[in-house]
Structure 1
Amino acid sequence: MITITKFEEEENKLTAKPDVTLPFQGLTPESHMLVDSDGGAFVYLLAHQEEFIHLRFEDHLWETLNTYRESEPAVFVKTGLSEVELTAFWEELSFLLDNIVGNHNYGKEFVESVERTFHLQTEED
């Protein structure tokens, strides 16, 4: 599991900066994102040979994600020698946000944090 610590913006793209160097060659995006509601993170999947690498986007990055959610710049992660585009990043995030709003199966605290940070409202609001 690799935690993204910050983003750098340049020319209509965001580069996610991990907490460790990714020396791996042959990382491929899975175009799929999961939720770690207990740990308070969105998790993007990368494949490396027969394994998955989990990129964690924890709540301290959510304001940044919300800022760029409308413009949807390409999102990349550096791997030591090259960059890998996190394909379908914004589509996956939007899908998850739509499913999280008002859905306390994710846990009340997580849902409320997502709703507040991404300025989302339930139908009842």
Structure 2
Amino acid sequence: MKKRMEVKEAIHNEEKLLLKVESLSDEAENLHAKGQMLADSDQLAFIYLLDNGEDFVYLSVPSSFWPALKEAREHNLPVYAVVNDKHIFLQDFHTELDYLIENIKGNANYGEEMEKKVTDIFQL
């Protein structure tokens, strides 16, 4: 089973968006960004893929944090995951997010609730 970390806090400033997650053991040192995102319709979340050298780790961004993603996207701010005080730059975050948003728009395969939430928050 893939490890999953959930964003617990989003901190936005003029320079970047920090997505703070629940702490892992010492695994944070080995984590790096994969530059890929998925949609989790069941949990109403976007999943950014991290790699720990052996397997993928899912960074789950629940819909309650999507307004922060929208603001960062509008201002083209870099997005970082913060795990145990380590900042991990989430490369291609906006490109991947844009791709998912476009795919979800009008697509019943993601489920009505996911489609509505994406449409409402990202004002499609």
Could you state the TM-score of these two structures normalised by the residue count of structure 1?
A: 0.89
1:1-125 paired onto structure 2 within 5 Å = 1-21=4-24, 23-24=26-27, 25-80=29-84, 82-120=86-124
Unaligned ranges ≥5, structure 2? none
Higher-Rg member (1/2): 1
Does the Cα contact within 8 Å between 1:22 and 1:79 map onto a contact in 2? Answer: no
Q: Deviations over 1:7-62 (max 9, x none)?
A: 11245111111123463212110000000011100000000011111000001011
Runs of 4+ in 1 over 6 A off after TM superposition: none
* Corresponding residue pairs, total: 120
Unaligned ranges ≥5, structure 1? 121-125
Report percent identity of matched pairs: 32
Amino acid at match of 1:59: S
Could you state the TM-score of these two structures normalised by the residue count of structure 2?
A: 0.89
Over aligned residue pairs, what C-alpha RMSD do you find?
A: 1.4
